[in-house]
Amino acid sequence: MSENKPSNFIEHIINADLAEKKYEKIHTRFPPEPNGYLHIGHAKSICLNFGIAEQYGGLCNLRFDDTNPSKEDVEYVEAIKEDVRWLGFDWEDREYYASDYFDKMYELAVQLIKDGKAYVDDLSPEEIREYRGTLTEPGKESPYRNRSVEENLDLFERMKNGEFEDGSRVLRAKIDMRSGNLNMRDPVLYRIQRGTHHRTGDKWCIYPMYDFAHPISDALEGITHSICTLEFEDHRPLYNWVVENVKLDTETRPKQIEFARLNLSHTVMSKRKLRQLVEEGHVSGWDDPRMPTISGLRRRGYTPESIRDFCDRIGVAKSNSMVDIALLEHCVREDLNERAPRVMAVLNPLKVVIENYPEDRVEYLEAENNPGKPEMGTRKVPFSREIYIERDDFQEDPPKKFFRLAPCREVRLKHAYIIKCEKVIKDEKTGEIVEVRCTYDPETKSGSATNVRKVKGTLHWVSAKHALDAEVRLYDHLFTKENPEEDGADFKDHLNPNSLQVLTACKVEPSLASAEPGNRYQFLRKGYFCVDPDTTGDRLVFNRIVSLKDTWAKIQKKQQNK
């Protein structure tokens, strides 16, 4: 199909293969092991594999690499399917499992033995390690390496029949104990491991290793390009060995291609570490909105579109890299700027009384839902004598360039009037500001003919008697360090103690009464927020997806540094 402008080295390879007529149709696969939840690193692989298939008019399979029952579970297969679907990809009826091929794999292993290319080894795990040699010294051949085909056949069948203890024997490929590539030093193909498999139950007590199962699964499914991460690069000769030495009846030979996995700043990506965060209670679960898991990002409010866009932008290459999380944040902002309706919410309320506004008057002001998109319409927002503004938006003794509310100063209330601060009321004991008294200028009503004055600052607000109470959860990076796993220290030493801040006294505009879990909004001047599933009939809970870009925060930082 489209052989135009390859955007990465994998497309170059595919274009070349197509030009040489090595393959007719492109077929990829996404092969997760159902032993944990998917994270954004997997999203990169999913987008790559499904994306290439789509781009070349081919297909992409979803295949669970379930060859180790001790670590795998149906819980994970369901979660993985949900995540892939949510990201926007469809594997149609091509949902496969390596375990679907266990019979075939066994048969192929038997054939390998008959061909004199595999043998049953009685060495213990420790002995196998010793015989393997080291990185710099060659290995030694096992004393069992030259058993007769008949004996191997008999032993392997008895392994399958459960006659031997777990770990007492393995089937090994007969390749080269002196190879510089440790993977080629007679790799283990099958091990004995009792345990109930989530799909095959107790049918098997021997399970194939990844290096044997993966190339066979690929070949059986007609995969043309088997894309995996860099650490499998030195498994490629073994992958090819299996493809070439096993008696397959398919004629297309899959090709393994390796790319660099994603690393994201200010977080961790390994399943082991993520699991640790969950199990030790540093986060509330796999779907904690601070987690880089797909389920965490979903709950946080990230859109699938923004994640796909991110995956497009980071590119695909072979150098180990660390992508700045700011790019991910940029991608959601860009997406949500287009689609999120704007709404007013005061996170840290400060009461403002407009002294010259009639006590019992209420005006319903017209407010646009998205200034960039008039087609998103307008809504009515109630305005009255008592309102809340953001505590940060008032300062008694304002610094330079602060153009919000301060004594004797004027600001515009978004969609409403210009108000002027007349008086500050403080708590007599604590000195805390409890209320600000203002006056408004009736000539300045938004949209009216008399509204001609301009002021520097515009604030968001909510009418006190109309406001809804809400809880807002503010999230920050999970780790304070760009790379928490750097310099050998425990990554948990760099957990950000302020990664979650819960605000329980927030006031939001009444139109949010109908907000439902999953809905996303822009809280004017604050950021993008998503309704959390913890929301109940009488309690609104919002997650901050990402803040808006904050020029004022930057100015403040500069002022502090002076």
- Site residues for RNA, window 283-342 (CB under 7 A)? 313-324, 326-327, 330, 333-334, 337, 342
Q: How far is the CB of 15 from RNA (least distance, A)?
A: 10
Q: Is 313 a catalytic residue?
A: no
- Verify binding: residue 168, RNA, rule CB under 7 A: yes
Q: Considering the complex, state which of residue 3 and residue 233 has its C-beta at the smaller distance from RNA.
A: 233
What span, in angstroms and rounded, lies between the C-alpha atoms of 240 and 237? 5
Q: Is 404 a catalytic residue?
A: no
- Verify binding: residue 85, RNA, rule CB under 7 A: no
Q: How far is the CB of 374 from RNA (least distance, A)?
A: 12
- Residue 534: other Cβ atoms inside 10 A: 14
- Verify binding: residue 193, RNA, rule CB under 7 A: yes
Q: How far is the CB of 443 from RNA (least distance, A)?
A: 11
What span, in angstroms and rounded, lies between the C-alpha atoms of 562 and 558? 6
Yes or no: say if 49 and 28 are a contact pair by the CB < 8 Å rule. Answer: yes
Chain centre distance of CA 225: 24
String of contacts with RNA for each residue 462-501, x by CB under 7 A: ----------------------------------------
Contacts with RNA in 130-159 (CB under 7 A)?
A: 132, 134-136
Contacts with RNA in 60-79 (CB under 7 A)?
A: 65, 67-68, 71
**Residue 410: beta bridge partners?**
420
**Residue listed under structure tokens 């805390």:** 432
Question: How, if at all, do strands 458-459 and 462-463 pair?
Answer: unpaired
Question: How, if at all, do strands 527-531 and 520-523 pair?
Answer: antiparallel
Q: How far is the CB of 251 from RNA (least distance, A)?
A: 26
Yes or no: say if 263 and 320 are a contact pair by the CB < 8 Å rule. Answer: yes
Sheet architecture: strand order including 118-121: 118-121, 170-173, 188-192, 206-208
Kind plus residue range of the DSSP H or E element containing 367: strand 363-368
Look up residue 400 and give its DSSP letter. T
Q: How far is the CB of 535 from RNA (least distance, A)?
A: 23
- Verify binding: residue 198, RNA, rule CB under 7 A: no
- Verify binding: residue 412, RNA, rule CB under 7 A: yes
Region of residue 457 (phi > 0: left; psi between -120 and 50: alpha; otherwise: beta): beta
Yes or no: say if 63 and 210 are a contact pair by the CB < 8 Å rule. Answer: no
Residue 110: strand, helix, or coil: helix
Assign 3-class secondary structure to 307-321: HHHHHHHHCCCCCCC
Contact with RNA (CB under 7 A): which of 18, 110, 153, 260? 260
Report residue 36: phi and psi, to 5°.
175, 180
Q: What are the structure tokens assigned to 371, written together?
A: 């200034």
- Verify binding: residue 163, RNA, rule CB under 7 A: no
Contact with RNA (CB under 7 A): which of 15, 55, 111, 181? 181
Contacts with RNA in 33-52 (CB under 7 A)?
A: 33
* Choices 8-16, 51-59, 194-202, 300-308; region in contact with RNA by CB under 7 A: 8-16
Contact with RNA (CB under 7 A): which of 91, 525, 530, 531? 525
Q: How far is the CB of 262 from RNA (least distance, A)?
A: 9
Contact with RNA (CB under 7 A): which of 149, 230, 425, 505? 230
Helix residue ranges, H only, 20-176 = 40-55, 74-87, 102-114, 125-132, 149-160
Q: Is 492 a catalytic residue?
A: no
Q: Considering the complex, state which of residue 54 and residue 234 has its C-beta at the smaller distance from RNA.
A: 234
Sign of CA dihedral 281, 286, 289, 292: positive
* Choices 85-93, 365-373, 432-440, 463-471; region in contact with RNA by CB under 7 A: 365-373
Look up residue 486 and give its DSSP letter. G
What span, in angstroms and rounded, lies between the C-alpha atoms of 355 and 350? 16
Q: How far is the CB of 448 from RNA (least distance, A)?
A: 7
Please pick, among 25, 114, 117, 261, the residue that the annotation labels catalytic: 261
- Verify binding: residue 391, RNA, rule CB under 7 A: no
Q: Considering the complex, state which of residue 330 and residue 351 has its C-beta at the smaller distance from RNA.
A: 330
What span, in angstroms and rounded, lies between the C-alpha atoms of 522 and 514? 16
Q: Considering the complex, state which of residue 2 and residue 504 has its C-beta at the smaller distance from RNA.
A: 2
- Verify binding: residue 84, RNA, rule CB under 7 A: no
Q: Considering the complex, state which of residue 445 and residue 473 has its C-beta at the smaller distance from RNA.
A: 445
Please pick, among 114, 132, 271, 414, the residue that the annotation labels catalytic: 271
Query: Residue 209 is which amino acid?
Result: M
Q: Considering the complex, state which of residue 91 and residue 383 has its C-beta at the smaller distance from RNA.
A: 383
What span, in angstroms and rounded, lies between the C-alpha atoms of 106 and 67? 13
* Choices 233-241, 286-294, 467-475, 492-500; region in contact with RNA by CB under 7 A: 233-241
Query: Which residues are marked as active site?
Result: 33, 261, 271
